[in-house]
Amino acid sequence: MWGGRFAEGPSAIMREINASIPFDKALWRQDIAASKAHVAMLGAQGIVSAEDAAAISAGLGTVAAEYAANGVPEDWALEDIHMTTESRLAELIGPVAGRLHTARSRNDQVATDFRLWVRDAIDEALSGLNALQVALVTRAGEHAASIMPGFTHLQTAQPVTLGHHLMAYYEMAARDVSRFADARARMNRSPLGAAALAGTGFPIDRNATAKALGFAGPTANSLDSVSDRDFALDYLMAASQCALHLSRLAEEFIIWASQPFGFVRLPDSLSTGSSIMPQKKNPDAAELVRGHSGRITGCLVSLMMTMKGLPLAYSKDMQDDKPPVFEAAGLLTLCLAAMTGMVEATTFRTERMRAAAELGYATATDLADWLVRQADIPFREAHHITGAAVKLAESRGVALDALPLADLQAIDARIDERVFAALSVEASVAARASHGGTAPIEVGKRVAEARLALGLE
């Protein structure tokens, strides 16, 4: 490849550190597609003859069929997927294969291939997120009125519904969808034709190749075209945020499956046992999702450090851009599938959840709110009165609504028998009917909106 400039070939060390074929062979489909678009444009522009363009295109089809059937061979002397494909093309059709590289460089070639790959990865993430959203909305609809404790600081706070809880993760997933969609729209420009860094003197048609590859148009600056990896960072940022959301959901299932909580029975298909303790059913899939979030975020940091401080235009450091993106994409696909399956197949023990919601004085805020509404007491004073009632109930080991009216009136005479209607967990969740609240009627509205947005209605 470099014979005209170098007197001798690279050392074994140089071949090993320089070769990217072990990982960039994953780009073969995109490399073939971009090469076919490029040679079609060269033929249409008269830069190569129609006969040569046809021979090259047919040869690329043969190479693609070989890769699909047998995989991509790894010859480190050929360095990367681009030279591997061109070398095989030359074996098939002879010297005319050399015309394929007219008016392009490996710099714009890899930038194009990588964009195409990341665009496909975004589409895969969006598909996975859609499946997760459908699962969340479906289960939320089933449990719009199922009562469970809501937590702050992992302490019982106020009663909520399981449907409301699950819909919180739907909202997180919806934001993930928007981030991936924004990244896709922003990166959907073709760098093909930027050549090494300065463009080309051949009369190419960059709009034609962009259209052939499904891009919205060509990139505007040749230097930026070959040196930009923002699209990969955008993907990793969206993937990292999505992984954090999946990790939070996984943690919920891990906690809920523990014996002290007992809120869920996880599906056998996403659990494992113990080699020594036959009673164990471990939430390993959820734990791995939680762990993978760190690896995905690490991939983002890795690429950010690779790109930090690189001068224009292309530098060989950028060969390290693909492994973290490939790793993150594979992990994210697994995590989305695992959590979707978990949401779909988990058995929610709603009777255990409701019983837990009745503990921890979860309706204390309802007593304070009742004092504000019915007795016209300032909230801070109502807060103090309620605190005294909780202290009394705790000393007796009973729930708030189990305290005799006389004892409540001894704390504050303005309390009357109407208060008991506000102290049940059912009354508590039903009262919170503000937009986005946990009342079953509100949860039902949000579920209906989500189903419509997902095309389920």
Residues catalogued as catalytic:
153, 274
Residue 424: partners with Cβ closer than 8 Å, 6 or more residues away:
363, 401
Burial of 227 from C-beta contacts in 10 A (0-12 / 13-18 / 19+):
buried
C-alpha radius of gyration, the chain, whole number: 30
Round to whole Å and give the CA distance between 279 and 294: 30
Round to whole Å and give the CA distance between 62 and 96: 15
Name the DSSP letter for residue 161.
E
Q: How far is CA 354 from CA 304, 351, 440, in A?
A: 46, 5, 14
Residue 318: partners with Cβ closer than 8 Å, 6 or more residues away:
227, 229, 306, 307, 310
Tokens 């890769």 sit at which residue?
67
Closest by alpha carbon to 315, among 306, 324, 303, 323?
306
Name the DSSP letter for residue 300.
H
SS3 label, residue 4: coil
SS3 label, residue 439: coil
Q: Is the dihedral of CA 202, 212, 74, 232 positive or negative?
A: positive
Cis peptide before 433 (omega within 30 of 0): no
